[in-house]
Each structure stands twice: as structure tokens, then as C-alpha cells.
Amino acid sequence: MTQSESASNHRDGHTRSLYAATMNPAPERPALVGHQSVDVCVVGAGFTGLSSALHLAEQGFRVAVLEAQHVGFGASGRNGGQIVNSYSRDMDMIEARFGEASARALGDMAFEGNRIIHERIEQYAIQCDLKNGNLFAACNDKQLDALRHHKTLWEKYGHKTLELLEGDAYRREIGSARYKGALLDHSGGHLHPLNLVLGQAAAFESLGGVIFEHSPMTRLEHGERVKVHTAGGVIEAERAVIAGNAYLGDVVPELADRSMPCGTQVIATEVLDEATAQRLLPTDRAVEDSNYLLDYYRLSGERRLIYGGGVTYGGGDPESIEGAIRPKLLKTFPELENVRIDYAWSGNFLLTLNRLPQFGRLNHNVYYAQGYSGHGVTASHLAGRLVGEIIKGDSARFDAFVNIRHLPFPGGRRFAVPFSAMGAWYYALRDRLGV
């Protein structure tokens, strides 16, 4: 029987995902009670919040993290687990819309989040099933042409670990007949995301950091020292970092107007025998296709196929997660028609209108980083480093993202969801037609 999202809690309060069923041991952390005074208060214990907190703790700051549920409860503990470089929009679009200087500044950082992840795993001996390599698969000739351009563009910015697999050459990597070719990024990879975030939480705590779970922010009080309120207490700090992303809610209204939560769904099969796993993904790399509403998949550490895809604008789930994703899986791997699905879950990511990360200040001592638009695993780790830099006094790289203008979704908050869904339908139709 599928362990579905409809039963919302699983091990230690996490969603009923494969990741929650195979998570490393983690302590139950207390809720905030009373008054605390620190240098920096971070709101959100996902990749952005804990990457920020860990960078700051390494620099000697006294840091407290507030988490509404459990460490890694949101997108950081639910995503596809793929280490994909760059952003959800590439540097040519950034240059066309925001100028050469912005493109160069963001391009120089586009592959840094990946390196940070590898550094963290090695430095703190985090056990998270790290594997090397990811592929972008072309479903039609137009997408293959786009991958050729993609390779040239990334190489312009110094990323030289790409290999274009044209024609049937991709079959050495993917045991599916549905593609026209693929682009292999040897520096990419995949991992168990919940165990990565739990490992960073433990690293942060080993440096004296404190995490309060079950402590959602209820109010943000600005001043020379910012006060972050919860139902049980208040943290007073010199600086604050808002890192709740799609799970922040409306507690900071000015952050909700230019972003939109979106749901994506994931299933995991029963454990596959070695021969089947070898046929599906012979080199054990992660894959995402090049459609606007893309599919993504990989093998877990115990040889389950993890397969995700689709978007629900505004967040939430379809009537059946397995019913929505299993046909996508079978289109790619028809031989799995009789495979059992053991887990089905969903998670929300935060979408911006231009699909680029949204960094900024709410005032002189409150910072935020959010809106990775589906590329959060690497970009969130970069965000943490940049937060550490700006609080230390070097704002140049953080401000390169601040300078990217973000507009509200057309139609305002009421019509953002239907308008975005209409746009996605149009692009999905173009993908199907190969135009």
C-alpha cells in the first residue's frame, strides 16, 4: 500500500516520504519558551536557513534558528534530491533582461552552490547517499538544439564538465527510448536531501547554534534590534534572516506579493533488483527532461526509482499523487508497468515571475532569500554563503541578486494561480508539439 501524503505526518512529524522513512537519527528539539538574545535570528530550518546559520556560526556569530515544524519539514526534505547547477533561468535571459553586468555577476556564482554542498558533506561527514552526475534529456529536436546552446553558454561562464550525448549515445546513461539526446553534467549529482539538511543542522549545533522546533514566527517587530515573536516567546537579535520560502505563509506580507507557492509530486517504487536498476539508469545518475513542466528521476541509495513531475500552481496536491505521476513514469520506463509504488508525497517550492531567486532587505537589519523556482538545492546553499557575507559586512555578491527586479504576478494574488496555469498549459502544448 502506498504511503501517501494524505496521512500528513510520518517519522518524527515529517511527511510520509521515502526520505522520512530512511532519515538519519535526529533529536527532538524544544519549542521556544521565553526570551532569547542572540546576534542573528534565522527563520526557517531548511537549506536556506541552515546554510545561512552554519556560515554565520563558523564566523563566530551567536545564532538561533526558529522552525515552524521540524528541521527539513518543507521543500528541503521533500525535493527530488538532484544537484543541478545554475538557476531556473539561464544567463542569456539574465543578460537580455537585466544587462551584461548582472549576467556576469550571477554567472560567476552559478556553480558555487554545488561546490558548497560537496564541501559541507566532506567537512562534516554527512551521510546522505551522495552520487555524481546529472543529465538534461531532450524529448524532441528543438530541445536538443537548446541543450547545444546550453552547453556553449555554461562553458562561456567557465563550466567545462559538460558532455553532449547526441542520438543514441544517451542510451549508455538512460534505458529509455523516448529521448533525442542528453547533456551530461559530470559535476552535478544527487543525494538524500533530508539527510543533508539534518547533517547541516547537527553541524550548526556542534558550533553552539540553537534550533527551536514547533516555533512558527507570529510577528516580526522591526527596530535597532529586531524582535521575532512566536506563540511561546521572543528572540531579540542584531539581525534577522527570513528563510521560510514556500512555507512562510503570510506572516511577512511584503514577501508574499511577488512569489507563489507551487506543488510538485514525487513517487518512489519498491526496491528494484540490480538488473532492473542497471537497465534503467546504468551509471546511476539523476535525470530531468527539458519540458516546461519537466519530469525528474533517479535511483535512491537502496535502488528505488524516485520519479517526480508536474506542478500545482498555488500549492496543494492532485486527487491522487500516484495517479498523476505513475503515467509519466511509464511513458519513460514502460517495463515498470507492474512495479509497486511504495511512497507518494508532495512538497511546495516558491516560484517568482522571472524564475530567478529573490534576495533582499526588509530594512537595514532584516534580510531574506527565497524563490528559487525549482532550483533550490544548489541556489539555497549559495544563498547561505551570501547571507554570511552581507552580515559580516560584504554586500557585493548579495546585492547582485538584490539588483534583479521582481514584479508581481499578473492579476494580483487572486488571479496569479489561474493565469500561471494557463501559461503553463501553453508551454506544455508547445513541448508536446515540439515547437
CATH 3.50.50.60 at 18-77+195-257+355-415, yes or no? yes
Q: Give whole-number Cα distances, 146 to 103, 149, 431, in Å.
A: 19, 5, 13
Q: DSSP state, 246?
A: G
pLDDT of 7:
36
What does the pLDDT read at residue 428?
47
CA-based nearest residue to 121, from 159, 94, 83 = 83
The C-alpha cell 554586500 sits at 395
Amino acid identity of residue 73, one-letter, is: F
Burial of 322: CB neighbours in 10 Å, binned 0-12, 13-18, 19+: middle
Residues 340 and 269 sit within 8 Å (Cβ to Cβ)? yes
For residue 251, give the nearest of 283, 217, 280 by alpha carbon. 217
Q: Where are the domains of the chain?
A: 18-77+195-257+355-415
pLDDT at 156: 93
| Euclidean distance between CA atoms 309 and 324, whole angstroms | 9
> How far, in Å, CA of 271 to CA of 318, rounded?
25
Q: 185: helix, coil or strand?
A: strand
The whole-model pTM stands at 0.93
Pairing of strands 358-363, 295-299: unpaired
The 3-state DSSP class for residue 187 equals strand
Q: What pLDDT is attached to residue 413?
A: 54
pLDDT in the model for residue 107 = 95
> Given this model, what pLDDT does residue 213 score?
98
Give the DSSP letter string of 383-405.
HHHHHHHHHHT--HHHHHHHTS-
Contact 162, 155 (CB under 8 A): yes
pLDDT on residue 293: 86
Q: What is the mean pLDDT of each run of 10 residues along the chain (435 residues)?
A: 45 80 97 98 98 98 98 97 94 93 95 98 98 98 96 95 97 98 98 98 98 98 98 98 94 86 94 98 98 94 95 81 97 98 95 93 97 95 98 98 87 52 45 54
Task: Write down the pLDDT at residue 31.
Answer: 98
